[in-house]
């Protein structure tokens, strides 16, 4: 827990680095989440149409990759929100 607070404190103290990390995480989130719903539905349709053969022929691997991409996108979004909060905290404290 203390390590997480140190990282947040560091982000609050280094606004340029926080902004760059915020921008990078936004781009990563956008890239990973772009059209993911369509890909999930296409994978589900493929698996439903082909059953066990679809799983063996790569449908399960693709589903696992999509789940991993969704988790990575969520991690990027959480980093985005953390950086956003740190920048807002710095702006808030600057005007006090």
Instruction: Give the residue-averaged pLDDT of 71-75.
Output: 96
* Predicted local confidence at residue 1, as pLDDT: 58
User: Phi and psi (nearest 5°) for 58?
Assistant: 120, -5
96 — pLDDT class (breaks 50, 70, 90): low
Give the separation between CA 47 and CA 50, rounded to whole angstroms: 5
Please give the helix or strand (H or E) that residue 90 lies within, else none: helix 60-94
Tell me which long-range contacts 75-79 makes (C-beta under 8 A, separation of at least 24).
76/25, 76/26, 76/28, 76/29, 76/32, 77/25, 77/29, 77/33, 79/21, 79/22, 79/25
83 or 5: which leads in pLDDT:
83
Q: pLDDT digits over 18-61, tens only? A: 999 999 999 999 999 888 989 999 999 999 999 888 888 999 99
């Amino acid at each position: 827990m203390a390590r997480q607070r140190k990282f947040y404190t560091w982000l609050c103290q280094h606004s340029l680095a926080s902004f760059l990390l915020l921008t990078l995480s936004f781009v990563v989130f956008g890239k990973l989440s772009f059209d993911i719903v369509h890909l999930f539905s296409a994978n589900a349709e493929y698996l439903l149409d082909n059953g066990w053969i679809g799983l063996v022929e790569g449908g399960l691997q693709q589903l696992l990759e999509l789940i991993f991409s969704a988790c990575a996108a969520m991690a990027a979004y959480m980093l985005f929100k953390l950086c956003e909060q740190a920048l807002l905290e710095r702006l808030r404290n600057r005007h006090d």
